[in-house]
Structure 1
Amino acid sequence: MKTRNFRNLEIYHLAHQFVLDIYELVKDFPKSEDNNLTSQLRRAATCLPLNIAEGSGANSNKIFLNFLIFCYRSCLECEACLRLSKDLGYIDDQKFGIYFEKLDRFIRKLYRYMQYLEGSIGDRKRDKSFFYRQNKHYFDDNMKKRESMRALC
């Protein structure tokens, strides 16, 4: 298998920029949140490029796909943290919308790359069920929900 270089992946660069943006955002959070919501949001966001980088070194697309699934789950964690931040009054609706859009754009690119990877796995009949059986409904349901959320932002 050809080795992947995470530095050449668009999803890596989007994730990296999202982390930088999150670090800038949380600078204005209350000091009392440093060891709680601030830390959790930073860690969840940091997981995005780190899982892409680590997974890109895997010796199979199937293993890389697992890392991207972890990355997606961290995206959901970021979204939950952003919602809490808004509800607690740390960010306003406008900032929430901006960061939601950034995260949504990343998730869409990630999802398409995951579909591409899944399609390139060797024995498609057997391995395709790996992704679809465990995650397809999960991603499709969340993508529909994200569509309706984007309409609200």
Structure 2
Amino acid sequence: MQDVKIESFEDLRVWQAGIQLVKQIYLVSREGELGRDFGLKDQLRRAAVSIPTNIAEGFERRSRKEYVNFLNIAKGSAGEVRSLLRVALEIGYLNEPTYSQLSDQVVGISKMLFKQIESLNANL
């Protein structure tokens, strides 16, 4: 497998996964009861958007220490998304398959962020 040169945040797989999550969250939250619950919908969307946005902002800072800080913020937002998805499931806004699929996506992103944070911290 050939190493891909990372020249911008758009090259990062974790950022790409974050964008895919945002797309899915927007699609799921525009219909049904979740689509009509403006507070929960807005908070869920904002938390999801925060993941790739913080990855991008940290990457653009060009300081490893700041980048790690923004990756930690993105990881926190991933936890927020997981919690909000669970709320949506528990109150009947999401069905189990949709919840599981989205939750698995977020867990995958959290794991990617953890590995990247660990790698960057090891090289400080």
Amino acid of the structure 2 residue aligned with 1:40? Q
Taking the aligned partners of 1:4 and 1:74, their CA distance within structure 2 comes to: 25
The correspondence for 1:90, drawn from 93, 101, 123, is 93
Measured in 2, the distance between the counterparts of 1:17 and 1:93 equals 20
- SS for the counterpart of 1:104 is helix
TM-score, structure 1 normalization:
0.73
Q: Does 1:23 align with 2:26?
A: yes
| Matching residue within 48, 72, 80 for 1:77 | 80
Larger Rg: 1
**Higher RCO (C-alpha 8 Å, min separation 6):** 2
1-structure distance, mates of 2:8, 2:57: 10
Stretches of structure 1 that go unaligned for 5 or more consecutive residues are 122-153
Aligned residue runs from structure 1 range 107-118, under 5 A: 107-118=110-121
Deviation, 1:29, is 3.6
**2:55 corresponds to which residue?**
52
Deviation at 1:28, TM superposition (A): 2.0
CA RMSD of aligned residues (A): 1.4
Q: 1:10 aligns with which of 13, 16, 30?
A: 13
Report how far residue 114 of structure 1 moved: 0.9
Give the TM-score normalised by structure 2. Answer: 0.89
Alpha-carbon separation, structure 2, partners of 1:103 and 1:38: 17
1:4 to 1:114, Cα distance in 2 relative to 1, 3 A = farther
Q: Runs of 4 or more off by more than 4 Å in structure 1? A: none
